[in-house]
Structure 1
């Protein structure tokens, strides 16, 4: 692992191999703060009150079963890998995302939002279209992109706050799309704090493009899951 102030570790949320890789990196880095996109600040505070090597206790404290995220058994080793780290929740409130879809991320976030080139906007729009199985009306895509950009900026803000509070290193656990160095959290971190060294891992299923925008890429097999687009074709 390279030395860095902040490590942005991407994942496909339901891929257990990705979480095992994250846990291994966390164990090696031993961050002073662990930031999760999956947790609200209240859930993170609750996680701090229990033994994080006790998976059942952490799951209960955070109300994970009702959160909508994949099985906590995949995430438990990440919590256990840094038992002394401060846990930080970076989840963005739904109302803020709805506002960003209407007003733009920059109008909602308290953190700097990186500008986009036309080419980057086109890439993000295409990613949103594919993520929603081509079922979204084209006029909805700009709003979805703005919601994504809000989350990037807010995840960066929560991570920087954790760094300032602890002195780092800090690890952010997030989706691989947010770990992109060109338009994701690393770009927002670079805009806000160019003095910090940020290292980004993109974990991708199946195959990765040669110029994938990450500092490192881990390619894994595809998790066996139901067809996410089946509901749109029935």
Structure 2
């Protein structure tokens, strides 16, 4: 049973020692390329990579919350997974960018017999099956999937299909038919403070152009997605209880230990979770604020992330964040 997934303390200590020992020399602080720093919530301590490795080794579920498309974040994710395997672990990789029904495509790819490195037919076939024609998705996640194939790791898609996400955002949960509603679970978690917080964030993300009705539907979509990811993550954890699940997802889905994090804690309370959030260094980033509890709407939320991994800045998009968004919002309202 999922609720029985618990390890004795001595097991975590052994895993930590093995993981740290398995990391190649020369990868201690600072982690990754110059300009990257690790910070712990609570006391705000700056960590070296070995300290992080010990925390990773003790976790059952490791969230690697990214800013989508950031190459530094994807490189760090690959490093963590590579070091886990080097230490003798067999992590499962769970991807937000792939839907649950597409898991079979991922597993068929990673279980293919080894082929020459120059043979790209399998990767091209997978990209076509996943709808990744643009190439940016494979640039970001292809190295992780190729690594999983080389080591025959379990992989899974954990999100709702895009078509169902669009339907909920347009008609709400009540507008779905009976068959559509069978495609995702309902945790039953209701948190008015979190709802207000997410309404605020969703409105800000859409530059204030979304109507209150659309924001409510977007929040319903958000909950359905988080419940679906939770179901997938806990299923992977239950399948091989002594191996970690590494979850590759947008950092918002576990921010303040809410979203997927909170739902996994409800569904499988004995699983030990670690919330690592990657953020690009920028003038707007306030590290102290990210590491402090958040008091909003009558509730004290946890810090944004248990570990904040700050990476170098990336080239800024010349477009303004809100450019063209008002027109897209009007189309969604129709």
TM-score of the aligned structures, taking structure 2 as reference length: 0.61
Match of 1:216 in 2: 307
Compute the RMSD of aligned alpha carbons.
2.8
Distance in 2 (CA, whole Å) between partners of 1:86 and 1:200 is: 21
Give yes or no for the alignment of 1:74 onto 2:147: no
Give yes or no for the alignment of 1:88 onto 2:156: yes
C-alpha offsets along residues 12-68 of structure 1, whole Å, 9 cap, x if unaligned? 111111111111111123343111111134533223333589694335314255467
Distance in 2 (CA, whole Å) between partners of 1:93 and 1:36 is: 13
C-alpha offsets along residues 193-220 of structure 1, whole Å, 9 cap, x if unaligned? 1111011111223314332421111223
User: What does residue range 15-34 of structure 1 map to in structure 2 within 5 Å?
Assistant: 15-30=70-85, 31-34=90-93
Distance in 1 (CA, whole Å) between partners of 2:276 and 2:105 is: 28
2:172 aligns with one of 102, 107, 110: 102
Name the stretch that deviates more: 200-209 or 170-179: 200-209
The unaligned stretches of length 5 or more in structure 1 are none
How far residue 231 of structure 1 moved from its aligned partner, in angstroms, is 1.1
Rg larger for: 2
Give yes or no for the alignment of 1:141 onto 2:215: yes
Give yes or no for the alignment of 1:58 onto 2:123: yes
The unaligned stretches of length 5 or more in structure 2 are 1-52, 175-180, 293-302, 328-334
Q: Is the 8 A contact 1:48 1:87 kept in 2?
A: yes
How far residue 151 of structure 1 moved from its aligned partner, in angstroms, is 1.1
User: What does residue range 69-218 of structure 1 map to in structure 2 within 5 Å?
Assistant: 70-82=136-148, 83-94=151-162, 96-97=164-165, 98-99=167-168, 102-103=172-173, 109-118=184-193, 120-167=194-241, 168-205=243-280, 206=282, 207=285, 208=287, 209-210=289-290, 211=292, 212-218=303-309
Name the stretch that deviates more: 186-195 or 91-100: 91-100
Runs of 4 or more, structure 1, over 6 Å off, are: none
